[in-house]
Amino acid sequence: MVDKNRISVLIADDEATMRNLLASVLKSCGYSNFLHASDGQQSMEHLRTGDKSLRLAFLDIDMPGFSGLEVLEMARQTRPGCAYVMVSAHSAIDNVISAMNRGAAGFVVKPYTPQKIADVLAKFEREAG
């Protein structure tokens, strides 16, 4: 069973509105510990230096610094125990396939619904539990 109060979630998106919206949805699903990143470099810093409670990351594909796909590729080496969910307004099949081939646990298309986030969380909780 996943203890949602003991897990930190990284929310990486260059748009503050999207970070805040996702945090709000995650709070409604019982999560309370968040790290925010506005670009790929901040994302990698959190993933390199964050404590072991960082077990779930939502990465926007289009960010300055490193793209979400680049962060995913690097982070899988430095923090393999974390589940990575890609987020993008561009649902091109190439993006989805590339993300899944690089080890993403899921892919969410913007604008997303609270139910879609809840579905991704349920999958994470089943696999991590």
- Which is nearest to 107 in space by CA: 56, 60, 64, 70? 60
**Model pTM?**
0.95
Given a cut of 90, whether residue 50 has pLDDT beyond it is: no
pLDDT at 92: 75
Given a cut of 90, whether residue 128 has pLDDT beyond it is: no
Residues in the chain: 129
Instruction: Name the residue range of residue 79's domain.
Output: 4-122
- How far, rounded to the nearest angstrom, does the alpha carbon of residue 12 sit from its chain's CA centroid? 7
pLDDT at 23: 97
Q: Is residue 58 part of a domain?
A: yes
Q: Are 10 and 58 in contact (CB under 8 A)?
A: yes
Q: Is residue 129 part of a domain?
A: no
pLDDT at 98: 87
Q: What is the dihedral of CA 64, 70, 21, 127, to 10 degrees?
A: -170
Q: Is residue 64 part of a domain?
A: yes
pLDDT at 94: 84
Q: Is residue 127 part of a domain?
A: no
Q: Count how many domains the chain has.
A: 1
pLDDT at 90: 75
Q: Looking at residue 94, which CATH number applies to its domain?
A: 3.40.50.2300
